[in-house]
Amino acid sequence: MTPVKRLVTASICCALCVVLPIAFHSIPNAGSIFLPMHIPVLICGMICGWPYGLVCGLMGPLLSSALTGMPPIAILPAMMLECGTYGMVSGIVLKLVHTKSTYGDLYIALVIAMLAGRIVWGIVRVVLSGVSGAAFTWAAFMAGAFTQAIPGIILHIVLIPVIVLALQKALPWRKAHK
């Protein structure tokens, strides 16, 4: 894929970081449960590579916050670093892992990226809570990173590999480079 095609694809993913949360937030609590902003970031990292995934993950929440107020400023730094980690790690791991199964490679990259992003989110929340003087407990981390996010985690595990495979088959520049 040429740099221009990667840039266009990453830009579309950044736009989806604004549009998808708007759609999900029209249903109460759906945005925080299904984590729609994570979807285009993870896809961007897998399709365009880690540098584009990293930038999409950093810029997507920032653009969304500036244009819609979601995420709120208080959680924006944690979300930017979490999403940046998703985009970066999904691209790096997908490039490094070769199991001879495309689905296997996608699932390994996806799960590792999701775990890494949640760990980064937790670290940033701990640092920010230390600065603000508010407590961020292990229970709060587990609830925010995993318990409340179970529907989103399931959605990502089911949907993202299917979308990435469909894009790989549909985009003519992906076929030529396989």
Residue 2's CB: how many other CB atoms inside 10 A?
A: 8
- pTM for the model: 0.92
Per-residue pLDDT of the chain (178 residues; tens, 9 = 90+): 899 999 999 999 999 999 999 999 888 878 888 999 999 999 999 999 999 999 999 999 999 999 999 999 999 999 999 999 999 999 999 999 999 999 999 999 999 999 999 999 999 988 888 777 678 888 888 988 888 889 999 999 999 999 999 998 887 655 433 3
- Cβ(117)–Cβ(85) below 8 Å: yes
- My answer on whether omega of the bond before 71 falls inside 30° of 0, hence cis, is yes
Tally of CA atoms within 13 A in the half-sphere of 151 that contains its CB? 10
